[in-house]
Structure 1
Amino acid sequence: MVGKSDDGRFLEGLRVLVVEDEVWIALDLEAAFVDVGAQVVGPCGTLETALVAAKNEALALAVLDIRLGTATTERVMDLLNERGIPFFFYSGQTLPDEMRKKSNGAVVMVKPAMQQDIVGKAVEVLMASSMPISPS
């Protein structure tokens, strides 16, 4: 269950997929989630690795950049929606109309943001999801 443990590890044991192709941003996201106890899957910097992870990994949440190079993460979003895995976008770009229509109202957080704000958004998205949340 999402909640603060005695040492501030809000997401203890939850598996979070990070899909980001900018190395420094990916490392920052990874550090933010590890610091609150999450197990980070990735970071995935290519569409191919992101699709494999979104299809096969046990996940509680995903954080997606809107674009990886010239490709969008629309297919990753589709897989997460099919599997009922909550996610949000963390990007410096706006969500293309077609993705917005299919995103089920997914949150778009604008880069740059502080680590605590990203983790806070992750907790909000998890709490708003109808999926039971427990460590894998």
Structure 2
Amino acid sequence: MATQPTTDQQTVLVVEDEFIIALDLSETVRDLGHRVEGPYANKDHAFIAIDQEMPDVAILDVMTADGEVFPLADALTEAGVPIIFHSGHITDKDIEERYPNAMAAAKPCPPAKLVEMIETAREMAH
């Protein structure tokens, strides 16, 4: 299946400390025609990246190599970046309370559902 070239390529930040999952998420993002920022195994490296360039969308694992991702999620939310939490450590209810505009995908997330969430987040970013 050929990916259609897109003129409005967006940047998707991927923060995931499990190597295989990080590669899989990155591949899914690239297959959609977007640019991957990362993947980063810890939030401190992701903070450096967003200081250079704010992404259009972020996919975040909750538990990173250097602790919970919430400080990064707070900074992204403040900047208006749509977030997809991709984790086995948090419930939809937890997300709704703290990040009412964010989406949550439980691991393992079927690729088709993740693609749908990325597209929804992309539309929110416009």
- So what's the TM-score if we normalise by structure 2? 0.84
Match of 2:73 among 61, 77, 98: 77
CA distance in structure 2 between the partners assigned to 1:27 and 1:7 by the alignment: 18
CA distance in structure 1 between the partners assigned to 2:94 and 2:64 by the alignment: 17
Instruction: Give SS of 2:81's match.
Output: coil
Alpha-carbon distance change, 89 to 9 in structure 1, aligned in 2, over 3 angstroms = farther
- Counterpart in 1 of 2:45? 49
- How much does 1:120 deviate? 1.1
| RMSD over equivalenced CA pairs, Å | 2.5
Match of 1:89 among 79, 85, 89: 85
CA distance in structure 1 between the partners assigned to 2:96 and 2:45 by the alignment: 23
Partner letter of residue 74 of structure 1? F
* More RCO (CA 8 Å, sep 6+): 1
Q: Name structure 2 gaps, 5 residues minimum.
A: none
- Counterpart in 1 of 2:111? 115
Q: Name structure 1 gaps, 5 residues minimum.
A: 1-5
What percent of counterpart residues are identical? 28
Alpha-carbon distance change, 31 to 46 in structure 1, aligned in 2, over 3 angstroms = same
- How much does 1:11 deviate? 9.0
Q: Deviations over 1:46-104 (max 9, x none)?
A: 12112222333231100000110361101110110111111110111115x88654313
- Counterpart in 2 of 1:17? 13
Number of aligned residue pairs: 125
Partner letter of residue 124 of structure 1? T
- So what's the TM-score if we normalise by structure 1? 0.78
Matched, 1:126 2:122: yes
